[in-house]
Amino acid sequence: MSADTTSFNHPSFGRMTPDRVIVFDTTLRDGEQSPGFSMNLAEKLRMAEALANLGVDVIEAGFPVASKGDFESVNEIAKHTKGAVICALARSGGAKDIAAAGEALAPAERKRIHNFISTSPLHMKYKLRMEPETVLELITSGNAAARNLTDDVEWSAEDGSRTEPDFLCRCVEAAIKAGATTINIPDTVGYATPEDMEKIFSMLRQRVPGADQVIFSAHNHNDLGLAVANTLASIRGGARQVECTVNGIGERAGNAALEEIVMALRTRHDQYPFTTGIHTEGLLKVSRMLATITSFDVQPNKAIVGRNAFAHESGIHQDGVLKNAATYEIMTPESVGWTRSSLVMGKHSGRAAFRDKLKVLGYEGMDDTRLNEAFARFKDLADRKKVVYDDDIIALVDDEARDHDRIRFGGLSLKSISGQPSEVDLELSVDGKAIEAKATGNGPVDAAFNALRKAFPHEARLALFSVGAVTEGTDAQARTTVRLEEAGKLVDGQGADADTVVSAVRAYVHALNKLLVKRARTEPEALTA
């Protein structure tokens, strides 16, 4: 069967050329399931807008039936995000799921319901406790119900890569007959190899009636570090939609990284003659935005968006790059959003120079309140540092860009004498009300955290406390990461400041705000046969 996908009109994309690959981003749904990650409504709206501006074709906004907060997030994104198809997740066997997805998506200019059910023997027996024939019935009823609410319907075979080929063909055929227009075969547990994934898609396209009337999609997890390789192999096999996340975030080891897939297709066009609608110059900006929102830094050696991705320390490499960048760079830094700026910032720099610097660094569209707060912190930092580096500005702007809906840090005073308990006076704002608390502790950070617990009582356990320097030098800002755990829920917070204790408190406050969001989340009711 030909890989040509022009033989039918897709409800959202019309007639597609054979080389066009749809980018389906699930950062807001699957990505947010990463341990410690959590986004509030304002943060999700910012990310959705950024993804749409990046050129993402489909944004999976959430799982509406899971909680009131998830429903609201999908509904608000459907109202406000333009350009991309907005997608909501539902289970094939859940009538409430599909109804909730349809209702949440109602305001979207283009919408998709994505329903799924497990198809592997292991999942059907132990997770669903269902017979194969029951699963087939639910695939039919679920896709038919979704198709009554929208013309753009996607169906996924959860644990598809471990599903028996004959049964997988039957499931895909049932989904197509019931109205699905996109068929997704996930490697849910990251078990498959590239050879496996290419073979699965080739097999389905050859064996399943109606396969030439749908788009096949790949959703690969990274448990063996093969998610991107598996995705590229899936495209070779005939998939024309890739499901991915910014920075590769997601459950366990994460998902296939959007930026890596897109740049692999662009850089190795000789091997993969396919195109996407992604504006690659915006990749770094969106990556940094997500890192800010989630408080989860990108590892330095991360492909495409890690700070070492275009760094060269070896003398031989440096010499080669100076003579011709192509000797050691297979893509230009500018093609993914990196810039080289010679503008040095210091205490004499004004607001206009600061705004220009933010634009160069990819921070545009900040409201006046946050811009003013960031500029005030910049001036305070510049008074204490001779040179303010780009990384310093990124750290403080990221800190101000984080949403602190209920709890905000006001200030603190500290008394610490070697060999004696430290004392802290802390000021917080909780729901707009000023609160002061005093506490002692075994060191200044312990005292500050004890004061936080007095000011805002809670039982969350400190699961991680990490401090690093933003730049070199003894006057460098500290960047602190705090992870809190409560009833099995994990949240990460991050803060930066020239004062290490203040940095720690900012991180703790950020984590508390995320915990309040996560407390409202619930798990959907289990499916029953």
Is residue 291 within 8 A of residue 400, CB to CB? The reply is: no
Residue 30 annotated as lining a ligand binding site: yes
Q: How far apart (Å, rounded) are the C-alpha atoms in residues 503 and 481?
A: 9
Is residue 483 within 8 A of residue 38, CB to CB? The reply is: no
Q: How far apart (Å, rounded) are the C-alpha atoms in residues 117 and 136?
A: 10
Residue 219 annotated as lining a ligand binding site: yes
- How distant, in Å, are the alpha carbons of 28, 265, 431, 432, 456 from that of 409? 27, 45, 12, 11, 12
Q: How far apart (Å, rounded) are the C-alpha atoms in residues 426 and 447?
A: 10
Residue 178 region, left (φ>0) first, then alpha (ψ -120 to 50), else beta?
alpha
Buried b (16+ CB within 10 A) or exposed e, 492-506: bbbbbbbebbbbbbb
Q: In what order do the strands lie in the sheet with 489-497?
A: 461-469, 478-486, 489-497
* Tokens read off for 344: 């040095």
* Tokens read off for 32: 């947010």
Is residue 357 within 8 A of residue 389, CB to CB? The reply is: no
The kind and range of the H/E element at 156 are: strand 153-158
Q: How far apart (Å, rounded) are the C-alpha atoms in residues 485 and 483?
A: 7
Residue with tokens 């753009």: 152
Q: What is the DSSP letter of 347?
A: T
SS3 assignment for 388-414 = ECHHHHHHHHHHHHCCCCCEEEEEEEE
The kind and range of the H/E element at 187 are: strand 182-187
Instruction: Break the chain down into helix, strand, coil percent, rounded to 5.
Output: 45, 20, 35
Known binding positions: 30, 219, 221, 255
Known binding positions for Mn(2+): 30, 219, 221, 255
